[in-house]
Structure 1
Amino acid sequence: MKSKWLIIGLLGVIVALVVAIPLAIRYSRYQEARSAVARYAIALDATLAELRPQSLGATALQRETGRVTSYVTLLWGRNVYVDAELLEMDVLRVRSEDPTVTAIVRERWRYVEHDRRSREQLGDEETEDNTLRYTLLPGTDGRLAVYLSEILEPEELQAELEK
């Protein structure tokens, strides 16, 4: 009789592990992706304020750094810098196909442009809501880094959420 209960108990543990392990892995990937996007947002904020793409550091890979560098060059040409702050971030979905992790993230940013020389505010403070697709790959420090960030149109978002 005891051996019957022991077998039932062991089967219960095995079933629990079979269910828990994939959930733990999925949650771990979600946390990694969320952390990578948050680190990138902080670095992007500094980059736009300092007009120094190097501020992205290990949070972005060459392709994304190149895109941001083009934007920083545009800001330099306009003689402005951007004071930006990520107000909200909601990770809607994370998909992983080693080594690539794709995160769909809804963000709300506050930003305002300033004259680079006088530091005067140019225009009103703005807030903007966007949903982005972040393509993440292992970076130079071993953590996930942004390979590409893309703003999604509503139909693209719907397609991403249905995958």
Structure 2
Amino acid sequence: MALTAKKRRFADAVLAGKANKDAAIEAGYSAATASAAGSRLVKDKDVALYLAAQRIQQESKPEPVAKAAAGRAPPPDFDLDAMTSFTDPKAFLIAAMNDGRTEPKLRVDAAKALMPFVHAKIGETGKKDAKGVAAEKAANKFAALATPKLVVNNRK
């Protein structure tokens, strides 16, 4: 499901520092169910990805001189242009997962979202594939032995 305008307003309120319940109320959710809605929305993968992207963008903005002098510099391999110009969602998830400055929970969520792209489930192969693998396994078990090496002894 895509990031709706309501979810975006919720995420922007969370980024502004509001609690989940208050952010849900501000986004337009009912005050009676705002606590549950806020808890559910924070776990939503679209909202989590949006929050991660916004936090990465906020952290990569130029820092005031006082903070920069405190010794908090971005990693040497960090490229701001690469982080803000993703066209491939998979590449963005990989970058979010590998970014040490992102919250650990968001990094884990990005890794979970990437799992189907990297590792196929065991049950996702079809019947024909399973039969082919079984036949190949059986063929290797009963394969013909290699011909013996013929050595000629020419001693007289």
TM-score (norm. length: structure 2): 0.23
Larger Rg: 2
Higher helix share: 2
Higher strand share: 1
TM-score (norm. length: structure 1): 0.23
